[in-house]
Amino acid sequence: MGRVLASISYLKEVTPRSQDYIASFGEKLSSAIVCTTLKEAGLKTEWYTGGNAGIVTDDQFGNAIPLMEITTYQVKKNLEPIIKEGVTPVITGYIAHTQNSTTTTLGRGGSDYTATIIGVALDVDEIWIWTDVNGLMTADPKIEPLAKTIPTVSYVEAMEMAYFGAKGLHPRALEPAANKEIYVRIKNTFNPEEEGTLIEKNQNVKSVDIAKAIAIIRDVALVTVSGAGMVGTPGIAAKVFKILGENHVNILMISQGSSEANISFIIPRNRLDTATNTLELALLGSGNIRGISAEEDVCIIAIVGAGMKGTPGVAARVFTTVADKEVNVRMIAQGSSELNISFVVKEADGVK
């Protein structure tokens, strides 16, 4: 790693490939320490990086996508024989490699993803993800002291919660397990007796639990593209989102009124300058777009629960409660699945 850091210092430039290589060392060192500790305790263990264990990805450095067919084959080939011999494999989370053995990483929180990839490849009965909370919570306990652990949720509910920042779960981690219908359990390393949260296929809906969780997502910004020339003009939305995609700006939420006179969307706050600058250069002066505005002091509130599906009046109750607190809603979105209602408010109003 010293040579890599030296070259970066000389060139004054770091590539995504180099970033993945450097970022991999933390997991490599910590898992080697764990493996040695287990050996000293008398266990038979072997240490692997995610790539050496068999996880193969594409070359999208920083957020690599596993190639599941070859990964399943390689993990079975590499790990099943030693497990049958009573050896416990200690595998780095977060790290994998390409088919050319170049180091890649699975993105933020990718250790959860590693666990489900390995579990699915080995066709296990249940995957346990150890974290520092008792499971998925009904709300952030730092904001709502009465927040409780949710005993069971479905894959789709958990995916929604993970997307909106549920602590202890990677947004993509559940997809491999859901495809194979393998149970996933979230447990607390510091409270191992706690049952945690079981994630399964079935949606267990109780009449009193229409919504299972409320999440707040900070560090976002609201961008609005508007203009009378947008009305009835095909391709405007496609052009906007194409520009953002080409500049690696992720869109978290979209809303457009039936008048077609404006499009509003939420993006990460740290990408706001890139988004507005590129949109202004590409769209202003075209005759269709009148203005591009942005607000930084906003947050997303998301309400998740399978019980909302087909239940009349849920949105009315949500927004009546919000209005009673004198909170102005800037933007609203709800998918056709009805598992989630999301809306945008001023950041100062988010905790209300």
DSSP string, 66-121: B-HHHHHHHHHHHHHHHHHTT-EEEE-SSEEE-TT--EEE--TTHHHHHHHHHHHH
Contact 118, 66 (CB under 8 A): no
How many angstroms separate the CA atoms of 71 and 282, rounded?
Answer: 41
Q: Are residues 193 and 275 part of one domain?
A: no
Domain boundary among 204, 230, 256: 204
- Can you give the CATH number for the domain in which 143 is found? 3.40.1160.10
- Count up the domains in the chain and report the number: 3
Domain boundary among 124, 148, 164: 124
The pLDDT of residue 65 is above 70: yes
Q: Tens digit of pLDDT for each residue in 258-291?
A: 677 889 999 999 999 999 999 999 888 777 788 8
DSSP-assigned beta bridge partners for residue 103: 97
Q: How many residues appear in the chain?
A: 352
Q: What angle do CA 138, 140, 143 make, to 5 degrees?
A: 125
Q: Are residues 340 and 219 part of one domain?
A: yes
Q: Are residues 167 and 135 part of one domain?
A: yes
Q: Are residues 145 and 58 part of one domain?
A: no
Half-sphere exposure of 1 (CA within 13 A, CB side): 11
How would you classify the pairing of strands 262-268 and 253-256? antiparallel
Query: What would the DSSP string read from start to end of 282-347?
Result: HHTTSSS--EEEEEEEEEEEEEE-GGGTT-TTHHHHHHHHHHHTT----EEEE-TT-SEEEEEEEG
Q: Are residues 269 and 303 part of one domain?
A: yes
Q: Are residues 244 and 133 part of one domain?
A: no
Domain boundary among 146, 171, 204: 204
Q: Are residues 156 and 32 part of one domain?
A: no
* Most distant pair of Cα atoms in the chain: their distance: 73
Band the pLDDT of 315: cuts 50, 70, 90.
confident
Q: Are residues 120 and 195 part of one domain?
A: no
Torsion of CA 10, 12, 16, 19, to 10 degrees: 60
- Mean pLDDT, the chain, rounded, equals 89
Q: Are residues 114 and 5 part of one domain?
A: yes
Domain that holds residue 63: 1-124
- Output the pLDDT for position 212: 85
Rg (alpha carbons) of the chain, rounded to whole number: 23
How many angstroms separate the CA atoms of 303 and 343, rounded?
Answer: 9
Place of tokens 């595998």: 91
Q: Are residues 76 and 140 part of one domain?
A: no
Q: Are residues 305 and 343 part of one domain?
A: yes
- Quick one: DSSP state of residue 237? H
Q: Are residues 336 and 241 part of one domain?
A: yes
Q: Tens digit of pLDDT for each residue in 169-213?
A: 777 888 899 999 999 999 999 999 999 999 998 877 665 667 888
How many angstroms separate the CA atoms of 141 and 330, rounded?
Answer: 25
- Output the pLDDT for position 165: 65
* % pLDDT > 90, the chain: 56
**If DSSP codes are grouped into helix, strand and coil, which group holds residue 18?**
helix
- Can you give the CATH number for the domain in which 238 is found? 3.30.2130.10
**If DSSP codes are grouped into helix, strand and coil, which group holds residue 45?**
strand
Q: Tens digit of pLDDT for each residue in 2-39?
A: 787 788 777 788 889 999 999 999 999 999 999 999 99
Band the pLDDT of 1: cuts 50, 70, 90.
confident
